[in-house]
Chains A and B, each alone.
Chain A
Amino acid sequence: AQSVTQPDIHITVSEGASLELRCNYSYGATPYLFWYVQSPGQGLQLLLKYFSGDTLVQGIKGFEAEFKRSQSSFNLRKPSVHWSDAAEYFCAVGANNNDMRFGAGTRLTVKP
């Protein structure tokens, strides 16, 4: 069965600094990969997804992620973090919705 590991439980960055959130997965074939964001008291919102093709995918709010098959990774990046990016971020992997596995999440704090 597939699994997702987000090694960082909590990350703090200064506003304007760059950000990288790590995601490693285990899956038997080429997976479908997702990043979701959860603001406090809200449901999850899709940031971006990778199905096939270009391994660098662009998402909403200035986020991007790169699929690296050799490293089984799908790390999320943003060049310059804004205070409104403070939230919890979840990586997910699955061949279909019934099979989706979510990581434990990384909580992002943004310092002024």
Chain B
Amino acid sequence: NAGVTQTPKFQVLKTGQSMTLQCAQDMNHEYMSWYRQDPGMGLRLIHYSVGAGITDQGEVPNGYNVSRSTTEDFPLRLLSAAPSQTSVYFCASSFGGPGELFFGEGSRLTVL
């Protein structure tokens, strides 16, 4: 069982570059989300989606874009990377409502 798959696991960018973090889940979950994890701050919600074609902002959305064209995929785009976006990013999915979140293994991004 693949669960939630994130790629790449590691990425180094220069300031101003763009990139996409990929997230795919094979559990037919309607809800998908992106978090960033920074030391001493826990996880903070960036964007989320409650189904294909529906996305919304979380706590820290600035500098990130998302789209949801299929139930399975929820990519996160950094339009113009900044050093403040250096973080570990987690994708998570759920059946919906306040239930268990299933997390990917994370993507460590460094912006120089």
Report which A residues bind B (CB closer than 8 A).
Answer: 4, 9, 32, 34, 36, 41-46, 49, 51, 90, 94-98, 100, 102-105
A71 to B100, CA, bound (A): 24
Instruction: Pick the residue among A45, A51, A97 that contacts B94 (CB under 8 A).
Output: A97
Q: List 13 A-B contacts (CB under 8 A).
A: A4-B42, A9-B40, A32-B98, A42-B106, A43-B106, A46-B101, A94-B98, A97-B31, A97-B97, A98-B58, A100-B98, A104-B40, A105-B42
Instruction: Pick the residue among B44, B56, B90 that contacts A98 (CB under 8 A).
Output: B56
| A45 with B103: CB separation less than 8 A | yes
- At the interface, is chain B mostly helix, strand, loop or mixed? strand
Which residues of chain B have C-beta atoms less than 8 A from A90's C-beta?
42-43
Which residues of chain B have C-beta atoms less than 8 A from A98's C-beta?
33, 45, 48, 50, 56, 58
Query: In angstroms, how far is the closest chain B Cβ from the Cβ of A108?
Result: 15
| B105 with A41: CB separation less than 8 A | yes
Query: In angstroms, how far is the closest chain B Cβ from the Cβ of A62?
Result: 19
| B42 with A103: CB separation less than 8 A | yes
| B103 with A49: CB separation less than 8 A | no
A17 to B106, CA, bound (A): 31
Closest 4 CB pairs of A and B: A43-B103, A102-B42, A32-B98, A102-B43
| B42 with A100: CB separation less than 8 A | no
Report which B residues bind A (CB closer than 8 A).
Answer: 4, 31, 33, 35, 40-45, 48, 50, 56, 58, 90, 92, 94, 96-101, 103-106
| A97 with B101: CB separation less than 8 A | yes
Q: Which of B40, B43, B90, B104 has the most CB of A within 10 A?
A: B43
Q: Please give me the residue from chain A that is nearest to B38 by CB atom.
A: A104
Query: In angstroms, how far is the closest chain B Cβ from the Cβ of A64?
Result: 17
Which residues of chain A have C-beta atoms less than 8 A from B97's C-beta?
96-97
Q: Which of B33, B41, B92, B103 has the most CB of A within 10 A?
A: B103
| A104 with B90: CB separation less than 8 A | no
Which residues of chain A have C-beta atoms less than 8 A from B101's C-beta?
36, 44, 46, 97, 100
A62 to B100, CA, bound (A): 18
